[in-house]
Structure 1
Amino acid sequence: MTVYFSFWNRLPLCRILRNGGFFHPMGSGFKAICLAVCCLLFPLIVGADPSSIKYTAEAYRTFQAIEVDGDLTEPDWQNAKRIGQFVQMEPAEGQPMTEATEVRILYDEKNIYFGFTCFDSDISKVAANEMRRDGNLWDNDNVFVLLDTYDDQRSGFFFRVNPLGAMEDVAIMDNGDSRNENWDAVWDCRTKANEKYWTAEIGIPFSQLRFDRSDVMTWGMNMGRSLMRNQEEGMWTPVSRAHGWRARYRTANIGRLVGLKGIAPSRNLELLPYVLPGVSRIEAEDDTNGELELGLDVKYGLTSNLTADLTFNTDFAQVEADEEQVNLTRFNLFFPEKRPFFLEGAGLFDFGIPRTSFRRPPPLLLFYSRRIGLAEGHAVPIITGGKITGKVGPYGIGLLNVFTDKFHTDASVTDPDEIVNEPRTNYSVLRMRRDLFSGSTVGLIAVNKQNADTYNRAGGFDVAYRPSDNINFRGLWARTFEDDVLDQRDALYFGGNWRNENLRLDGSYIDIGENFEPEVGYVRRQDVRRFRGEVRFT
């Protein structure tokens, strides 16, 4: 059973209520005070009492050459400790899985390996029909690994494979509440079916992960398996089914992976140049000209957890095309970012009203990278750009600077609504977050878009407080800055939720001003004030 209530107002009603009504807009100072008071009171309202860690797995150091072929025949696979205590999340929470699962973990100086042995009493009933990368593997039998490489209970990397060897990888942020499903790592996996079991062998290079360098490392980790014919999902470290389908992505209160020693991460250097020769000919002038375009993308690991990305004369011709959408509403469409330069560390720049997936339109994003290099469906040339992302101790840091060239649609475009005229523009973003307690953060962001004549700037503060695994509070305040705009340019959000196995409570308040206009962001609707509450009982 679900009961919810929501109060909100659109533009005409807003003008009436500004004269003393229930939804009277708050002043920006009062909004900031409200957010600060909420942040200070949360620790007093609910004491943090995180669950103790009970599940520990040890990785075995191998000096043999491991071939990722799905066979698990190298002798060191038998030397590694066996992990086999998988329990159900669905349908019988807490009970052992109906089919046994064993996992062994190896590592060498360059890779970490996971060997799954999935026993099955009727191997002919294994469900597997998906071969696409990042396809709907959740609808097949599958196994997965979740790695919290910073062991901060906030972020992680999720890897999943099905019995056909199809692969899925996801970058996890905010304890699984936000996920970048367009993140693609370079890793390997092979599977093999036998009479009474199927195996999956996974090899993940350390260079594809971000972690703090240390002689002895401890990572957060969880693993799981799905049996679709029984609608069954089990995990090594139990997670309450009250979290629903998000349970597999949660990084709070998961197990620990120990035994990683002497890993010296390389300062990974990747170069991706391109050369585009061509010939142009104008028939009327009987003139033929040669053309040549050059470009380069560079990725360099400054440290094991700080990455620099540089781009010059960027070419996005090989980027996956956007999914076609038909817009029958008055709101802007939202398309996920797929360009590799912007995907690195994308979760760190995420500042806005919470969303469940990078593929779904959020109510508000203060920084939306698709505003850079794209205008009304046209590609605007990116002359050069640079970005640094990663963590330094408890601080998450993101710096971005991009310079785009001028662009004008050609003379064949005569419709005034389709003519695009973009001047040379500089975009810069600064994002910082500070980890607090167990799973909580505070952060700030500053965004600037500027050309020779105009500017648009935005800034804000956000906070996430998670005193325990089933309680979560969030809040943010933001403001935009433009010439001759002095009021109604703020945005405020605060909300929280609490849940157990049978009951879930959600509540939030949104206030977005009429003149809140982040040109490098995304706002689904302006001039909105909305209270929302929801009660779910199962």
Structure 2
Amino acid sequence: MLYFVRVINQQLSTVIRAIPRLLCCCLFSLPLTAQKKNEAYQLHIRRANSPVKIDGVIDEAAWQAADTATNFYMILPMDTSYAQVRTDVRMTYDAQNLYLLVENYNKLPGPYMVESLRRDFSFLKNDNFLLFMDPFDDQTNGFSFGANAAGAQWDGLMYEGGKVDLSWDNKWTSVVKNYPDKWVFEAAIPFKSIRYKKGINTWGINFGRNDLKTTEKSSWAPVPRQFPSASLAYTGVLVWDVPPPDPGPNVSIIPYLLGGINKNYETGTKSDFRRNAGVDAKVAVTSSLNLDLTVNPDFSQVDVDKQVTNLDRFELFYPEKRQFFIENGDQFTNFGYSTIRPFFSRRIGLGVPIRFGARLSGKLNRNWRLGLMNMQTAKDEELGLPAQNFTVAALQRRVFARSNIGFLFINKESLNYDPDKVTDKPVYSRYNRNLGLEYNLASANNFWTGKAILLKSASPGKSGHDWAQAANLNYTSRSWNINWQHEYVGRNYNAEVGYVPRQGYIKLAPQITRLFFPSTGVILSHGPQVTSTTFFNEDMRRTDNETMLSYAFVFRKRNTLTAYASNTYIRLLAPFDPTNTGKDSLATGSQHNWNTVGLDYVSKPQSLFTYSLSGRYGGYYADGKRLTLGSELGYRFQPYVSIALSSSYNDIRLPQPWGHTAFWLVGPRLDVTMTNTLFFTGFMQYNEQLKNMNLNTRFQWRYRPASDLFIVYTDNYLPEPFYVKNRALVVKLVYWLNL
């Protein structure tokens, strides 16, 4: 298998040379106008002729008069027939709310399968129903709402035509009621909680259902199996009897009060008592454009980051979880690629408090989106960090079928700061600016997607080689997935408010996947994938390459098995400690080459006990050896208790001075969902590489929609000897008030 990897690596050059011709052919064959694939699937919605009570009981006259969307289509296991499980959907509205009623019928006996009552559940691990809503009918942006069979809510912002950001949280109500032959989901979504264009009477809409007992995924408007059911390219049409009502003045005030105490045992300082207050505000400038304001925000209730073992030469990425930066954040944070992000909101307020901020974001009309944000942070006298102001401006224009062109400007300014006068503290730049242009390609049928970006930075003392350019083109059919990506980042390109862990390189990364679909048997699909990622310096001298051949099996019960083999070559550009423990470093310019084999398995989601296992073994730097084992174990006492344990083990054997190095990373987690408004989470992480043990517990009571009481307790320990490093307790009360 390793021999085959090396052969593939040699042959990829032929493929690379053919890619530019393929790019040109594809771009010039794209449709210039949007044609909706599922326009024939229409659900007519009329104003309710009676009050609607959200109780899961279908006894209102409004529901008897509403049209029904039924006869769902199967997406998985096969997308060539109607769904086996029956789902009926009805919608109506009044002056304040959009109402949804769903009857999810059973086909097989037995209990429903859910993780817990926790909000924003995992789609694949729950019997659930989801609504995908495109209120601008642009097939790109929208909202998603839903619930699992136990009543846990799901809500998120949709972006890039089929992705859902579940960090978004808003005010709406729902109930799930179970019957012998079905479970009923009923919801009221306030018009004030969503954004939509005033005056239009058609929205893109689709409904998705996941039924784990039959392992069937289905949708009302048919979606090809290679795409997610959330794909907005395949929505049907929600036809209003009259345009949706004007939500009227829409202002929400969200104040918080906080009290807490923290103690640092390492420094031996006295306990620090926290008393804090702040406020957020949401103002609907129009029905589709929103102004968000924040004064003295606090994010102590946000989930802690899940730690990973760091054996990488470059900075790791941790996603943004703070609510203020989420809504319409895709315009800012999704500009670029995963390792070329000119804007990364976690750079704002890093180690210092945010004093205030404002963001104007949303749709100007069907074709234009706007995003403006300004944030102000405090200064830190002890570190010498000046007060800083962050300004981000984004403008996006829809073109062709579902594509768009985007513009981004970022300015980070240190206020009242002269770096020439700094002597005994770290020196910070006076300013850093980035200017970017991006083209996002999405064909009408979603088979062709891609992106091209051009970025330019400006910083004091940095000029020349201060730009970045990248592009990719992806083709996805039922049987093939072919992707080409290249990147260039200049050695002086500087994105201080972004995530660009590596500079001064050129990257080529082709990928090809082929899938086969047996008509019978336990295997749903299987096929090989070949990837090759090569880095060059700016003089086109190769510095890195990883070529991988993998073969994946997806079973009809949705368990998966993947085997792979890879070849890795690295020429170090800087000294590097291969254990990241500070023992010693390999020299700049030293060359390393090794082979690796690995196996990953994920169990079927229907079981109460679920697990995933992974293992890899092969060479490592300096002719060493590395064994990595990982697991994710979970058991649920549905729907109230979920227990999970994640672990990874690394065993590294190198010549002296490193010798034998081994370390564990273990993270047990307990989720208790007493009701769908009362939650407790306990999460512990033992990181042998960092010599730290962290405990985080959070109690949350949603005493009314979008209003919460949080009690958060954290502890950090030195594991050997067992010693408390620091601990903190925070109580926070949040209230959502609509004016």
Q: TM-score, normalised on structure 1?
A: 0.82
CA shift for structure 1 position 121: 3.5
CA 1:260 to 1:187, structure 2 compared with 1: closer, same or farther past 3 Å? farther
CA 1:109 to 1:481, structure 2 compared with 1: closer, same or farther past 3 Å? same
Q: Which residue of 1 aligns with 2:369?
A: 396
Report if aligned partners of 1:39, 1:463 keep a CA contact under 8 Å in 2. Answer: no
CA 1:467 to 1:48, structure 2 compared with 1: closer, same or farther past 3 Å? farther
- 1:24-47 Cα distance to aligned partner (Å, 9 max, x none): xxxxxxxxxxx9x99998652334
Aligned pair partner of 1:83 in 53, 62, 69: 69
Greater relative CO, 1 or 2 (CA 8 Å, sep 6+): 1
Q: Distance in 1 between matches of 2:24 and 2:187?
A: 44
- 1:239-290 Cα distance to aligned partner (Å, 9 max, x none): 11122xxx2121113101012535112332111234457999xxxxxx9999
SS in 2 for 1:501: coil
CA 1:151 to 1:289, structure 2 compared with 1: closer, same or farther past 3 Å? closer
1:69 aligns with 2:43: no
Report if aligned partners of 1:5, 1:534 keep a CA contact under 8 Å in 2. Answer: no
- 1:123-156 Cα distance to aligned partner (Å, 9 max, x none): 4243223221112242121111100111101111
Letter in 2 for 1:307: N
CA shift for structure 1 position 333: 2.4
Aligned pair partner of 1:182 in 150, 167, 187: 167
CA shift for structure 1 position 6: 7.7
Report if aligned partners of 1:6, 1:531 keep a CA contact under 8 Å in 2. Answer: no
Identity percentage of aligned residues:
29
CA 1:179 to 1:511, structure 2 compared with 1: closer, same or farther past 3 Å? farther
Report if aligned partners of 1:130, 1:136 keep a CA contact under 8 Å in 2. Answer: no
1:193 aligns with 2:186: no
Report if aligned partners of 1:5, 1:532 keep a CA contact under 8 Å in 2. Answer: no
Q: Distance in 2 between matches of 1:5 and 1:172?
A: 38
1:206 aligns with 2:191: yes
Q: Distance in 1 between matches of 2:230 and 2:136?
A: 15
Q: Distance in 2 between matches of 1:527 and 1:43?
A: 29
CA 1:431 to 1:260, structure 2 compared with 1: closer, same or farther past 3 Å? farther
Q: Which residue of 2 aligns with 1:265?
A: 247
Letter in 2 for 1:88: M
Structure 2 gaps, min length 5: 11-15, 263-269, 419-429, 516-739
Q: Which residue of 2 aligns with 1:329?
A: 312
Aligned pair partner of 1:60 in 22, 43, 46: 46
SS in 1 for 2:346: helix
Q: Which residue of 2 aligns with 1:501?
A: 478
Q: Distance in 1 between matches of 2:115 and 2:279?
A: 38
Q: Distance in 2 between matches of 1:531 and 1:197?
A: 51
Q: Which residue of 1 aligns with 2:410?
A: 447
Q: Distance in 2 between matches of 1:392 and 1:371?
A: 28
CA 1:276 to 1:224, structure 2 compared with 1: closer, same or farther past 3 Å? closer
SS in 2 for 1:258: strand
- 1:204-261 Cα distance to aligned partner (Å, 9 max, x none): 11111111111x5211001021111222111101111122xxx212111310101253
- Tell me which protein shows more strand as a share of its residues: 2
CA shift for structure 1 position 75: 1.8
1:459 aligns with 2:452: no
Q: Distance in 2 between matches of 1:130 and 1:208?
A: 25
Q: Distance in 1 between matches of 2:93 and 2:386?
A: 51
Letter in 2 for 1:253: Y
Structure 1 gaps, min length 5: 8-22, 24-34, 281-286, 355-361, 410-419
How do 1:276-425 and structure 2 match up within 5 A? 293-354=276-337, 362-374=338-350, 378=351, 380-393=352-365, 394-409=367-382, 420-425=383-388
CA shift for structure 1 position 94: 2.4
CA 1:42 to 1:477, structure 2 compared with 1: closer, same or farther past 3 Å? farther
1:217 aligns with 2:201: yes
Larger Rg: 1 or 2?
2
Report if aligned partners of 1:122, 1:196 keep a CA contact under 8 Å in 2. Answer: no
Q: Which residue of 2 aligns with 1:251?
A: 232
Q: Distance in 1 between matches of 2:444 and 2:271?
A: 69
Report if aligned partners of 2:108, 2:213 keep a CA contact under 8 Å in 1. Answer: no
SS in 2 for 1:78: helix
Letter in 2 for 1:333: L
Q: Distance in 2 between matches of 1:61 and 1:133?
A: 30
Q: Which residue of 1 aligns with 2:141?
A: 155
Q: Distance in 2 between matches of 1:325 and 1:68?
A: 43
Report if aligned partners of 1:123, 1:197 keep a CA contact under 8 Å in 2. Answer: no
SS in 2 for 1:252: helix
Q: Which residue of 1 aligns with 2:695?
A: none
Q: Distance in 1 between matches of 2:235 and 2:157?
A: 17
Q: Which residue of 1 aligns with 2:95?
A: 109
Give the stretch that moved more between structures: 398-407 or 463-472: 463-472
Q: Distance in 1 between matches of 2:9 and 2:191?
A: 47
CA shift for structure 1 position 530: 1.3
- 1:276-318 Cα distance to aligned partner (Å, 9 max, x none): 57999xxxxxx99999644222111111111111122222233
CA shift for structure 1 position 434: 0.6
SS in 1 for 2:99: strand
Q: Distance in 2 between matches of 1:290 and 1:236?
A: 54
- Tell me which protein shows more helix as a share of its residues: 1
CA 1:482 to 1:124, structure 2 compared with 1: closer, same or farther past 3 Å? same
Q: Distance in 1 between matches of 2:104 and 2:27?
A: 44
- 1:348-407 Cα distance to aligned partner (Å, 9 max, x none): 2134334xxxxxxx2121111111111xxx3x1222211100111221111111111101
CA 1:166 to 1:486, structure 2 compared with 1: closer, same or farther past 3 Å? same
SS in 2 for 1:303: coil
Q: Distance in 2 between matches of 1:43 and 1:232?
A: 36
- 1:451-504 Cα distance to aligned partner (Å, 9 max, x none): 133111111100012233211231001011111211222111111111221122
CA shift for structure 1 position 108: 1.1
SS in 1 for 2:435: strand
Aligned pair count reads 479
Report if aligned partners of 2:144, 2:157 keep a CA contact under 8 Å in 1. Answer: yes
Q: Distance in 2 between matches of 1:289 and 1:166?
A: 37
Q: Distance in 1 between matches of 2:259 and 2:105?
A: 54
